[in-house]
Amino acid sequence: MDMTNQFQEYARLLIEVGLNVQKGQDLVIACPVECAWFARLCAAAAYDVGCREVVMNWRDDALNRMKYLRAADEVFDATPAWQAEFLNGYARKGAAYLSVSASDPENLKGVDPDRLVRQQRAGSKALADFHRLQMNNGFPWCVASIPIPSWAVKAFPGCGEAEAMEKLWGAIFEAVRVTGDGQAVSRWREHVDTLQKRVDALNSLNLERLHYTNSLGTDLTIRLPEGHVWSGGDGAAATGQRFVANIPTEEIFTAPLRDGVDGVVYASLPLVHDGNIIKGIRFTFRDGRIVEAQADEGEEQLKAAISLDEGAARLGEVALVPYDSPISNQRLLYYNTLFDENASCHLAFGQAYAECIRGGEKMSKEELLSAGLNDSITHVDFMVGTADLSIVGYTRDGREVPIFVNGNFAL
């Protein structure tokens, strides 16, 4: 099957809608080495719209795994200065950042979780500017995916490699609305407008809290900060440049009150985190903090992930995705959070997005904290949506409003 048209349409979509690359702007592409041919298509699309220079940040699963298993132990406590300057420098000058996320979901299985934690702590210190500017929309960024064989065979077990790759390409093209007719850019502008209508409806409610229940056993209350803002579709960088941070995206999200979460929540899908699969997650919250974390598989990795820092055991995002939505209806477990989180209502533990509170992008770290937003070096989405999920909203003027009934928007 010749998919040349789809590949080009997809690359154009990421450059023109995902990042909306401007004339004279630099572009950094982080991409697995297997996908070099696709990075070249994206680079060409960027130069077509006047990009100044495309700079590569190559990734490789095999070398990454080798490093975690075989590198000298002190390596995991530091990030080389040149690497920090590379990412921080481009972030400070507002370069566009494309991350092509494609990995074997179990690439780091068997790696010492302590090495993962230490590396993340060291990285967050060295890359503080990059992470802060990303969470505050200081530069336009976009996360997207293309298949690699080690991932495709996990999403389509029982298929040979070539068949799995073809199936995963098909699923991804459907999820990102690329058909090969050259119209993906205009389909996306429409999609972003549709999401915006839902955002407006939620913002007009001025909610005080949400109450989640379903048959898995979830019974969770999430209070929302005063002045919280629901967001979805596209966002604006500091310069006003519109961009879509995730392609695909189906979610409407905001920030919970960091000490206002109580009850129990059960994850509805497995989570791929740091090269490990974590299954059967359940959390108990008290005053915003996870006081009990369990998993049927990967509990050690889960506990390591929420112990990175104080904010890692608190929520930073609450996101709504209808059970009846395009990616969810594929009924495919992608083993890649970019897709799985857009098939399901989700929450994230760790850092909140500054845009989720009125005026947040201009606030300091301390101001965001005192407004009730969580602060952490991590941000990990996990899926909680089910076909029978109920979410009841309570407004600040005392009204009770059904937000989700039987897994879908009731608004």
Q: Which residues bind Zn ion (CB under 5 A)?
A: 251, 253, 317, 319, 348, 381
Backbone φ and ψ for 134, nearest 5 degrees, come out as -70, -45
In contact, 39 and 45? CB cutoff 8 Å? no
Of 355 and 381, the one with the shorter C-beta distance to Zn ion is: 381
Min. distance of Cβ 201 from Zn ion in angstroms?
A: 18
Backbone φ and ψ for 228, nearest 5 degrees, come out as -65, 155
Min. distance of Cβ 179 from Zn ion in angstroms?
A: 26
Min. distance of Cβ 254 from Zn ion in angstroms?
A: 10
In contact, 105 and 154? CB cutoff 8 Å? yes
Helix (H) or strand (E) holding 252, with range, is strand 252-254
Quote the distance between the C-alpha of residue 365 and its chain's center. 21
Min. distance of Cβ 316 from Zn ion in angstroms?
A: 8
Of 7 and 283, the one with the shorter C-beta distance to Zn ion is: 283
In contact, 127 and 87? CB cutoff 8 Å? yes
Which residue's entry shows tokens 């898995």?
216
Min. distance of Cβ 228 from Zn ion in angstroms?
A: 15
Min. distance of Cβ 231 from Zn ion in angstroms?
A: 10
Q: Is 398 helix (H, G, I), strand (E, B) or coil?
A: coil
Of 43 and 348, the one with the shorter C-beta distance to Zn ion is: 348
Which residue's entry shows tokens 């996360």?
143
Torsion, Cα 260 262 265 270, to 10 degrees, reads 40
Of 212 and 253, the one with the shorter C-beta distance to Zn ion is: 253
Cα R_g (the chain), whole angstroms: 20
Which residue's entry shows tokens 């993962």?
116
User: At a CB cut-off of 8 Å and minimum separation 6, what does 158 contact?
Assistant: none
Of 35 and 257, the one with the shorter C-beta distance to Zn ion is: 257
Of 45 and 133, the one with the shorter C-beta distance to Zn ion is: 133
Of 251 and 355, the one with the shorter C-beta distance to Zn ion is: 251
Of 251 and 361, the one with the shorter C-beta distance to Zn ion is: 251
Min. distance of Cβ 149 from Zn ion in angstroms?
A: 27
For residue 402, cis peptide bond before it (omega within 30 degrees of 0): no
What six digits make up the tokens of 388? 């029978």
The count of residues in the chain is 411
Distance (Å, whole) CA 113 – CA 71:
15
Min. distance of Cβ 220 from Zn ion in angstroms?
A: 17
Min. distance of Cβ 339 from Zn ion in angstroms?
A: 12
Backbone φ and ψ for 131, nearest 5 degrees, come out as -65, -45
Nearest CA among 271, 248, 403, 404 for reference residue 329:
248
Of 65 and 258, the one with the shorter C-beta distance to Zn ion is: 258
Of 150 and 344, the one with the shorter C-beta distance to Zn ion is: 344
Q: Closest residue (Cβ) to Zn ion?
A: 319
Which residue's entry shows tokens 């609305």?
177
Min. distance of Cβ 319 from Zn ion in angstroms?
A: 4
Distance (Å, whole) CA 95 – CA 22:
10
